[in-house]
Each structure stands twice: as C-alpha cells, then as structure tokens.
Amino acid sequence: MQEQRMQVLLGTVKKLLRRGANTHLSKVLAKIHPADIAHLFRFLDLKEQTLLFNLIPDKSRVADVLSELDWSAGAQLLEKIDRDTIITILHEMADDDSVELLRNMPDEFADEILAEMQSEHSEDIEQLLGYDEDTAGGIMSTDVSSLHQDLTVREAIEALQDAEEFEMVFYVYVTDDHNHLVGVLSLRQLLTVPATTCLKDVMTTDVFRVRLDTDQEHVAALVAKYNILAIPVVDDTGKLMGLVTVDDVIDVMRQEATEDIFMMAGTSDEELLYGNRSFRIARLRLPWLLTTLFGGVVTGSLMWHFRVTLEQAIALISFIPVITGMGGNVGGQTSTIVVRGFATGHIDFPIIRQVFLKELRVGLIMGLVCGVAIATVAFFWHHNLYLGLVVGIAMAVAISVAACMGVLAAAFFKKIGIDPAIASSPFVQTVNDITGILIYFSTATFFLPHLS
C-alpha cells in the first residue's frame, strides 16, 4: 500500500515538474512527510532535485528533509544555494547533522560557511568536526540535557519542561559541580518518587557511557546489547560532552553494513558518490580484481606444474571447475558468517578457537557428503573407481580447508586492524582456488598409476 502511494506521489511530482507548476508543487511538499520527500529525491536527476529542494516551503522543513537524505546528496544540494540560506538551514539542524553535511562539502567551502556562522552553534559544530567521524565524538549530539545532583525531583521536572532545545529527553543525566556524569534516571523514576527527594538519592550511579574516541561500531553494539535509547559520551575525566541517540545508531549500523557489503564485493561505498564516472568506479574495483587475476595466474601455473598428471589422466579436467567452485563457495559462506559475527559482537578472539573447530566440523560434514556425491558421478561417468576416489577425497579435503580458511582469513584481518569484510569474496575465493587445485592434483598424482 505504501509503495503504491509513493509511486502515485512520484508520478504527481514529476508531472508538476514538467508543467512548471511550482506553486502547486510547493503546496504538495508542505503536506508530505520529510522522509517521503527525501525518498522522492532518489528517483529524480540533480536538476529536478535542485528545483524541488528550492520549493520546500520553510527552512525547518528543509532541515528535516536534509536529515533524511544521504549526506553527500544533501551537501551537493546545499552547494547550489546562497550561503545565507545555507547558514539559516544549518541553524535549524542538530549539531551532529550539520557536521555530517559539512564533512561532505569541499573543505574550503565548509570553512567559509563556518566562518560566516559566527555563533555558539558554529562553535559546537567546529568542536564536533575535530573528532574522528567514525568515533562517538564524531556522531554525538552536543544538545544533551543534564541536571545537578543536588536538585529535588520537583526542580528537575520544572527544568525539563524548559528543555525544548535538546534533541531528546528519554533519560535524565545527573552531573556534579564540574559537569562530571555521576548518575542517570528514567522519566518513569522521576515521576514516581516524592517531589522533595534529591536526585542524588534516587539516581542510578552505574551509567552506561562511552568515551569520545570510542569506535562508532562499539557504540552501536552497546546500544543494541543493552536496549537503551541513548548513550552519553564523556571525556577522559568523565565530563559529560554529548549524547549518541538510537537514530544515530541506526545510521551507523546501516553505514557499517553497507561498507561491509561493498568490501565483500571488492569495492567501496564511494561508488555511490561517483554516479556515472566510469574511470573512478573502475579504480575502486581494480585492486581486488587484480588480486583475483594474480590468483588465477598462480592457479594456472599449478596446473602447468601438474601437466604430466593431466596429460596421463585427461578425465581429471572434467572436475576442475567443481573443485574450485565448491571451495570458493564454502569459503565465502564461512567468512561472511565470521565477518558478521565480528560486526555484531557474537564472535571475538576469546572464542575464535571454538568457531574454528565448529566450522571445521561443518566443513568435514559438507565435504564428505559432496565428496561421496561427486565420486559417484565420476565413477559412473568415466567408469574408473580410482578417479571417483580422487575426486571424492579432493572435494572433501578442499571444502574442509575452505571452511577453515574463511575463519582464519577473517580473524587475521581483524587482528591486524583491517576490516575483516575485506577478507571475503575475492580474497577467500582466490586462495581457495589455489588450495583446491593443489589438493586435487596432489591427490591425482598419488593415484596416477591407477588413473591411466
């Protein structure tokens, strides 16, 4: 139903754009949810996006639409309007959203915008820009409300009623005289205790918190693990600096998942930014393709090394694609599971040995089943029991090795500080092609007298 509604809406917007009915378009945009407006932008070219963007009625609504758009697309739209309007829009946005837009603008242009803002808002933005964008400091909002520990519940409630400028008030964070985070209360707690009670007497002192330099993936994992709606960010001394909310965490999870998927394919999410620029996209894909090419050359050289075996038992050639293909598939499956486990926190180095042994057992089971199946096919096809034995053994060993390789490769890359997603697809498949050929022809050479 929602999809049909969006299709009708898109058709209406495109029709009004073609007719130049700007007044009608502006009225339509005033009634549509900002998230739906952002969704429409995906199906419009840059010229249509710019026109539609300029017709959004008020600046607060523009800010809401930008918060729903991809940051690079939003920055591109802002670059096409005058600076005063940009500054007005940024003032309507949360600090962390403004930072994301500025990070996606050319550095010189972003610096000029910041210089012209000249306000407390711009100081907060500059502070956030100073943190690494993949850390808690880089994704937090500085619009966090906190109350002093000596306030009573009545005073706290009165203070919260004036907290409209803050991004969210799901939890009440309690601080001391030096703004150090000392406790937290839920709104429910605040409303169910006597009004004269002091906050420090009812607050929870064991507060989930992260430091400014905490990796955003770890922040997301904590929020997901403990089912909290926000997590406070503190500096090295424990001073409350900001807040990472659940909507920021969802963005992080989506971003990290997208990065992992692209890396598994041997490319980068930068591809989305390059549009139709073929040379830049090719440059992103080439490194891993060249790695695969090198692996293919190594595989070919191994086959040349075993050429005598191949010449004396030409039937072996029938099963080369099966051996390499199955090994690559199993290795890809295993590495994907391990990469996902590292990303979600279900797998870590203390249990990597258990994971390895589990995947080895799974690999042995799958290898034996597939080995028996392919051995049967080989026997009935070429009427040679030893050929079936060679293909079956090679298949069983190759699949078991591939399953182990998927675990080891992902763990190795994680250990040396490289995103383990990069270990998937091209890398694992290339390595398993090489090991599969080596296992296959080594087994065939051992049984060669019975294959001729």
The pLDDT tens digits of the residues spanning 164-183 come to 655 556 788 999 998 999 99
Q: Look at residue 449 in the predicted model and tell me its pLDDT.
A: 83
Q: Please tell me whether residues 329 and 434 are part of one structural domain.
A: yes
Q: What's the first-to-final CA gap in the chain, in angstroms?
A: 66
In the prediction, which pLDDT does 377 show? Answer: 92
Give yes or no: residues 288 and 436 share one domain: yes
Burial level of 194, CB count in 10 A (0-12/13-18/19+)?
exposed
When divided into structural domains, the chain yields a total of 3
Question: Measured between alpha carbons, how far is 285 from 182 in angstroms, rounded to an integer?
Answer: 49
129 lies in the same domain as 177: no
Structure-token pair, residue 359: 């995947």
Same domain membership, residue 286 and residue 245: no
**Domain of 232?**
146-259
Specify if 310 maps to a domain.
yes
Query: How far apart (Å, rounded) are the C-alpha atoms in residues 270 and 57?
Result: 32
> Which pair of tokens denotes residue 279?
């040379």
Q: What's the sign of the alpha-carbon dihedral 132, 218, 249, 333?
A: positive
Task: Classify each residue of 23-33 as buried b or exposed e, where b means 16 or more C-beta atoms within 10 Å of its C-beta.
Answer: eebeebbeebe
Position 271 scores a pLDDT of 47
| The predicted structure's pLDDT at residue 260 | 64
> In which residue ranges of the chain is pLDDT below 70?
1-2, 118-122, 163-169, 256-278, 280-286, 288, 344-345, 419-426, 452
Considering the domain architecture, whether residues 249 and 281 belong to the same structural domain is answered as no
Q: pTM for the full model? A: 0.62
44 and 159 in a single domain? The answer is: no
Tell the residue number behind the tokens 């607050």, with chain if given: 203
3-class DSSP state for residue 181?
A: strand
Kind of pairing, strands 210-211 and 230-234?
Answer: parallel
Are the C-beta atoms of residues 172 and 190 closer than 8 Å to each other?
A: yes
